[in-house]
């Protein structure tokens, strides 16, 4: 690792017997270090091979972890260079009326993707909109179980949508759904 690289993951923090995939565990540990300030905008992370060797896991697992972070807008990956930490974009509050209006149009059967509030709010054309979606079935933690009126530990679906305007991540939506409600 380069001297300016601050990433530290102890192999003991990973649990190969967990239901959470190893790539998600690695991504979560890196995200934790970004959010608590141990990693800063512009910090280079180890190459896939270096981190795989350090963690004694497959290179594909590290690649998947880096892809999860890139899709969440937390890493920048360019060609074969080392991924670098991306700063958190400024938080932008979204007016609840935006969703109320969209719901009203949907109820009236007037849904046209090229005129969604997201497209209009970001001043882009429909082809400039993309979304990455990840889904993970996992046991509900206490907070999730309470919010969904489910027993703690029952399986839920965690969903994360990263929406892009012209290739730049501008909105992340995370939700947890009861598996019974997913069709």
State whether 133 and 80 are in the same domain.
no
Question: 150 vs 113, 114, 176, CA distance in Å?
Answer: 34, 38, 12
State whether 80 and 103 are in the same domain.
no
State whether 123 and 71 are in the same domain.
no
- Could you tell me the CATH number of the domain that includes residue 57? 1.10.10.10
Q: Which of 53, 85, 117 is the last residue of a domain?
A: 85
State whether 170 and 126 are in the same domain.
yes
Mean pLDDT of 79-90: 76
Domain residues for the domain of 135 are: 96-181
Residue with tokens 């009861």: 178
Q: Which of 54, 85, 116 is the last residue of a domain?
A: 85
Q: Give per-residue pLDDT as tens, 152-176.
A: 889 999 999 888 888 888 888 888 9
Percent of the chain with pLDDT over 90: 22
Question: 72 vs 3, 80, 144, 151, 162, CA distance in Å?
Answer: 26, 20, 21, 29, 6
Our count of domains for the chain comes to 2
pTM for the model: 0.50
Q: Give per-residue pLDDT as tens, 25-76.
A: 999 999 888 888 888 888 999 999 999 999 999 999 999 999 889 877 888 8
State whether 109 and 75 are in the same domain.
no
């Amino acid at each position: 690792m380069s001297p300016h690289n601050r990433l530290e993951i102890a192999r003991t923090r990973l649990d190969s017997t967990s239901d959470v995939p190893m790539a998600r565990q690695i991504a979560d540990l890196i995200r934790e270090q970004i959010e608590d300030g141990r990693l800063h905008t512009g910090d280079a992370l180890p190459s896939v091979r270096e981190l795989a060797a350090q963690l004694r896991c497959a290179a594909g697992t590290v690649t998947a972890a880096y892809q999860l972070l890139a899709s969440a807008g937390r890493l920048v990956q360019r060609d074969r260079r080392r991924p670098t930490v991306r700063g958190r974009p400024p938080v932008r509050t979204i007016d609840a009326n935006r969703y109320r209006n969209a719901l009203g149009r949907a109820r009236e059967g007037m849904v046209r993707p090229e005129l969604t509030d997201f497209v209009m709010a970001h001043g882009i054309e429909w082809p400039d909109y993309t979304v990455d979606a990840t889904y993970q079935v996992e046991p509900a933690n206490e907070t999730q179980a309470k919010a969904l009126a489910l027993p703690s530990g029952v399986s839920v679906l965690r969903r994360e949508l990263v929406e892009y305007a012209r290739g730049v991540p501008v909105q992340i939506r995370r939700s947890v759904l009861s598996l019974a409600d997913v069709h």
